[in-house]
Amino acid sequence: MIRTVRHLADGREIIYFDESPRERIAVDSRDLPPVAASSEIRRDPLSGEWVAMAAHRQTRTYKPPADLCPLDPSGPDRPTEIPESDYDVVVFENRFPSFSQHVTGDPSTVDAMGLVPTAPGRGRAEVVCFTSDHNGSFGTLAPERVRTVVDAWADRTEFLSTVEGVEQVFPFENRGEEIGVTLSHPHGQIYAYPFVTPKTRRALDTARAYQEEHGRHVLGDVLAAEQKSGTRVIAEGEHWTAFVPPAARWPVHVLLVPRRQVPDIPALTDAERDDFAQVYLQVLRRCDALYDRPLPYIAGWNQAPVRIDRELGWLHLELFSILRAKDKLKYLAGSESGMAVWINDATPEQIAERLRAAG
């Protein structure tokens, strides 16, 4: 992989990850105003969780026609976010970031009693384009391209973990209009959070308690149990196992777990990265065959925090979908949205059987 760093017209960084040597000399010819991020975080006094405020994102690009996609390569008369006429994988700073290194201000509160602390939403938000093919998808990538994406995720995780104030790095992909995607080009994002996310904190607390009681990692034991049973296993490789979690919350819900405990993507070996590409493509193709249509999904990497409890982390990818039938969505209604108590319309065993049959 060849890594080339350039800059866009407004100063944002863009990084090309090429599979063969290419000269990257195209210049962004657009007349762009400086990025004006105003991200803020506030801590909810009732839950203790941080909430991000990013009102400037209301003006972000929304469902442009295919011939105006900002993630396509640039053409002679149509400059885009990627100045080059072609690319393999490219990463650039989001023009409408949820978190930014350039946010100014000091910690404060929103009330005289100090109940709601606030702070600048310092961090970083990046866009990852998986291919220059507008009509492609992650599931149609070649294994070699998936490996390039994994290497790009590792590169960005490693860098973002050094950014001042960043506590957790989260690479993810949103796919499909039902999920809320506003750009149809195959792409994902990376958020560098200025705090450890609530979900990760709960998982770490659970792992710590299990470790103290049993002397082992809870995900390692879950993985071993799933491999032994095989009932919910979807795909397996030499280093990775994909299975429906035994308490699945979503109509389609899969975990991809490496057999070796590692904290994050940079810690994966070459062999583990190659094997991930093979296993993940199997999972994605089964997902798209499930309802004989492209499956809308969210796929996100659960990585250890940057600075704390890294020994409790066990890297894994979680993929889930709100599509419960070809033309029916799973809505997060009263119980799910109001009380965070999921009620699934299918058992994990049924989900696994359907995904295996779809293969």
183 and 209 housed in the same domain: no
- Considering only CA atoms, which of 256, 269, 15 is closest in space to residue 152? 15
131 and 225 housed in the same domain: no
CA dist., res. 175 & res. 121, Å (int): 25
**pLDDT recorded at residue 359:** 77
217 and 273 housed in the same domain: yes
Task: Give percent helix, percent strand, percent coil of the chain, each to the nearest 5.
Answer: 30, 25, 45
Query: Checking DSSP bridges between strand 323-325 and strand 316-321, what pairing results, if any?
Result: unpaired
**pLDDT recorded at residue 306:** 98
CA dist., res. 125 & res. 324, Å (int): 31
311 and 186 housed in the same domain: no
**pLDDT recorded at residue 64:** 85
CA dist., res. 3 & res. 13, Å (int): 13
326 and 225 housed in the same domain: yes
**pLDDT recorded at residue 61:** 74
**pLDDT recorded at residue 71:** 97
Out of 185, 187, 239, 316, which one is annotated catalytic?
187
Name beta bridge partners: 298: 174, 320
Name the domain boundary from 169, 195, 221: 195
**pLDDT recorded at residue 57:** 78
Q: What is the CATH number of the domain that holds 332?
A: 3.30.428.10
189 and 269 housed in the same domain: no
**pLDDT recorded at residue 38:** 84
104 and 225 housed in the same domain: no
**pLDDT recorded at residue 113:** 82
Name the domain boundary from 145, 168, 195: 195
**pLDDT recorded at residue 112:** 78
175 and 222 housed in the same domain: no
148 and 246 housed in the same domain: no
Instruction: Determine the length of the chain.
Output: 359
Annotated catalytic residue 253: no
Please state the domain count of the chain: 2
Sorted by sequence, the CB contacts under 8 Å of residue 121 that are 6+ apart come out as 37, 39, 40, 41, 52, 53, 54, 98, 99, 100, 103, 194
Q: Which domain holds residue 98?
A: 2-195
216 and 126 housed in the same domain: no
77 and 203 housed in the same domain: no
- pLDDT, mean of each 10-residue run, the chain (359 residues): 96 97 95 88 95 81 84 95 98 94 89 89 96 97 98 98 96 95 95 97 98 98 98 98 98 98 98 98 98 97 97 98 94 93 95 94
**pLDDT recorded at residue 54:** 87
204 and 184 housed in the same domain: no
Name the domain boundary from 195, 223, 251: 195
Cβ proximity of 263 and 315 under 8 Å: yes
Confidence (pTM) = 0.96
